[in-house]
Amino acid sequence: MTKQFDFDLFTIGAGSGGVAASRRAAVYGARVGICEDDRVGGTCVIRGCVPKKLLVYGAHVAEEMADAAGFGWTIPTPSFSWSNLIAAKDREIDRLNGIYLGLLAGAGAELIEGRGRIVAPHTVEIGDRTVTAQRILVATGSHAVLPPTPGIEYAITSNEALTLAELPKRIVIVGGGYIAVEFAGIFNALGSDVTLVVRGDAVLKGFDADVRSHLTDELVRSGVTLVAGAVVDRIEKADGCLQAHLHNSAAMLKADQILYAVGRAPNTDGLGLREAGVHLGPLNAIVVDEWSRTNADHIYAVGDVTNRMNLTPAAIAEARAFAETAFNDNPTRFDPSRTPTAVFSMPPVAAVGLTEMQARAEGRTIDVYHSRFRPLKHTLSGSKTRVMMKLIVDRPSDVVLGCHMVGADAAEIMQGLAVAVEGGATKAQFDRTVGIHPSSAEEFVTMRERSPTSDPTASPHDVADHERPVPRKIEA
């Protein structure tokens, strides 16, 4: 490591990716500095997946109580305190923030509080302090975006949703992605009247069509009002509530809160990137190669700020690959193609590998195995919830290309299946695996009947028509 600079690595942003890269580089002997203008831990730990998952756990208690009567339990009328749940969540986030601070300190990385800005080659300014580094890593994450809709100042994002002073009686959620469906499940289970407004016919664009259709049905069955094919034209505050007026429609939705979850944009403003000559792409995301290098040979970037695969584990994997390459003489690239993902909706969704449409678009001849069933638990609970599972198999090689699930414990089940997909497991190996009975997970190793969409003559367009979810709308 050269002594020409103050640091061998200076990281701008102490979220999951920035901390992972900084810690590993420090362990390998690098002199590491890192700056953060907010709480250490980043979006996931402080205002994203972790606090949201804690609220999901709280919401599931309502489901368990509703199911209890079928198992012989008589539960007196329960009461729920939103403020108590939020306070408990905040205590856990404080604890995790402390852990992250300890991890950096334990690795020997120097934390500098403040916003970093690249002001010259190899030079970062943080407040009134200037440091130099052989390599600079940008890991500043992303932020929720709000469209220029008239009245948008009355809306909230996921940040504010996690700290609301009280549980809204009525909430309109605009969007159909991860964040939108997760908050729809949380607020619906906790007793809010939830309306979900989506541009398309179903939620979770980009997921397998059967997943999208099944989750959309389950959300509606659970009591969420879905307004499909709709756009909010303007928001007004009148008659003691917020009013969302739909475009080209007489429909008007009344609510106590309007939550927008329509996407996120990289945090690149004010970092001095353009002045440093760093190329920025769509949404001003930092353009990097497979080694996380920018066009400036000493500047790198990982995580949401690159707008590649905006998942916390992906950011950590990119960060570790960077540290291995730059500081451990072990050239490593992160392959995102078999990265598993989960949506903690109610019910949850999880997937790994290709969707049916993606496989066909690649020109593959595939077999599709598909199952919908009522899990054993609900034969007594009385719940109408159904589980959906799907396997995509490459016919010539028999390799399992994708696994998809909507149902309880989907994320826990999919983590194990991701190991199999990463290892190139075949359908024959799935079939030879002994199932754990009785469990929902065993369905993945007992599916034998091919779906009608396994027709090798089917085109992606044919399958799209076959799988397209039925539009669902409410009356204006």
Given this model, what pLDDT does residue 462 score? 41
Claim to verify: residue 425 and residue 450 sit in the same structural domain:
yes
Claim to verify: residue 231 and residue 199 sit in the same structural domain:
yes
Closest CA to 157 of 17, 52, 302, 38: 52
Claim to verify: residue 377 and residue 256 sit in the same structural domain:
no
* DSSP annotation string for 133-160: EEEEEE---EEE-----TTGGG-B-HHH
Is 437 catalytic? The answer is: yes
Claim to verify: residue 314 and residue 394 sit in the same structural domain:
no
Does the residue 457 lie in any domain? yes
Burial of residue 74, with CB atoms counted within 10 A of its CB: 0-12 exposed, 13-18 middle, 19 or more buried: exposed
Does the residue 474 lie in any domain? no
pLDDT tens track for 221-231:
999 999 999 99
Given this model, what pLDDT does residue 233 score? 96
Average pLDDT (35-41) is: 96
Claim to verify: residue 89 and residue 18 sit in the same structural domain:
yes
CA distance 420 to 287: 32
Average pLDDT (278-292) is: 97
Claim to verify: residue 179 and residue 326 sit in the same structural domain:
no
454 pLDDT band (50/70/90 cuts)? low
Q: Which of 143, 245, 247, 437 is catalytic?
A: 437
pLDDT at 461 over 50: no
pLDDT tens track for 290-333:
999 999 999 999 999 999 999 999 999 999 999 999 999 999 99
Does the residue 240 lie in any domain? yes
pLDDT at 23 over 90: yes
pLDDT tens track for 213-223:
999 999 999 99
Average pLDDT (199-219) is: 96
Which residues are CB-contacts of 307 (< 8 A; sequence separation ≥ 6)? Answer: 142, 266, 281, 282, 283, 285
472 pLDDT band (50/70/90 cuts)? very low
Closest CA to 25 of 84, 110, 119, 112: 110
Bridge partners (DSSP) listed for residue 299: 136
95 pLDDT band (50/70/90 cuts)? very high
CA distance 123 to 116: 10
Q: What is the number of domains present in the chain?
A: 3
Claim to verify: residue 90 and residue 179 sit in the same structural domain:
no
Claim to verify: residue 162 and residue 123 sit in the same structural domain:
no
Given this model, what pLDDT does residue 197 score? 98
Which residues are CB-contacts of 449 (< 8 A; sequence separation ≥ 6)? Answer: 369
Claim to verify: residue 132 and residue 193 sit in the same structural domain:
no
275 pLDDT band (50/70/90 cuts)? very high
CA distance 410 to 440: 9
Structural contact between residues 222 and 186, judged by C-beta atoms closer than 8 angstroms: no
Which residues are CB-contacts of 137 (< 8 A; sequence separation ≥ 6)? Answer: 9, 10, 11, 12, 18, 21, 22, 299, 300, 301, 302, 319, 322
Domain that holds residue 445: 347-467
pLDDT at 469 over 70: no
12 sits in which H/E element = strand 7-12
Claim to verify: residue 138 and residue 279 sit in the same structural domain:
yes
CA distance 402 to 418: 9
Residue corresponding to tokens 């609900």: 378
pLDDT at 280 over 50: yes
pLDDT at 467 over 60: no
Given this model, what pLDDT does residue 468 score? 37
% of the chain with per-residue pLDDT over 70? 95
CA distance 140 to 42: 8
CATH of the domain at 392: 3.30.390.30
Given this model, what pLDDT does residue 455 score? 55
State which amino acid sits at residue 370.
Answer: H
pLDDT tens track for 136-176:
999 999 999 999 999 999 999 999 999 999 999 999 999 99
Measured in Å, how far apart are the chain's first and last C-alpha atoms?
A: 66
38 vs 472, residue with greater confidence? 38
pLDDT at 460 over 80: no
Claim to verify: residue 196 and residue 123 sit in the same structural domain:
no
pLDDT at 242 over 60: yes
Mean pLDDT of the chain: 94
Does the residue 49 lie in any domain? yes
Claim to verify: residue 269 and residue 256 sit in the same structural domain:
no
Does the residue 321 lie in any domain? yes
Does the residue 316 lie in any domain? yes
Does the residue 119 lie in any domain? yes
Average pLDDT (437-462) is: 77
Given this model, what pLDDT does residue 68 score? 96
Does the residue 472 lie in any domain? no
458 vs 441, residue with greater confidence? 441
Given this model, what pLDDT does residue 250 score? 80
- Among residues 247, 262, 277, the one where a domain terminates is 262
470 pLDDT band (50/70/90 cuts)? very low
- Among residues 240, 262, 284, the one where a domain terminates is 262
CATH of the domain at 113: 3.50.50.60
Report the interhelical angle of 49-68 vs 178-189 (nearest 10°).
40
pLDDT at 113 over 90: yes
Distances in Å between the Cα of 307 and the Cα atoms of 280, 300, 419, 440 are 11, 14, 25, 35
pLDDT tens track for 386-413:
999 999 999 999 999 999 999 999 999 9
- Among residues 207, 231, 262, the one where a domain terminates is 262
pLDDT at 459 over 50: no
Average pLDDT (167-195) is: 98
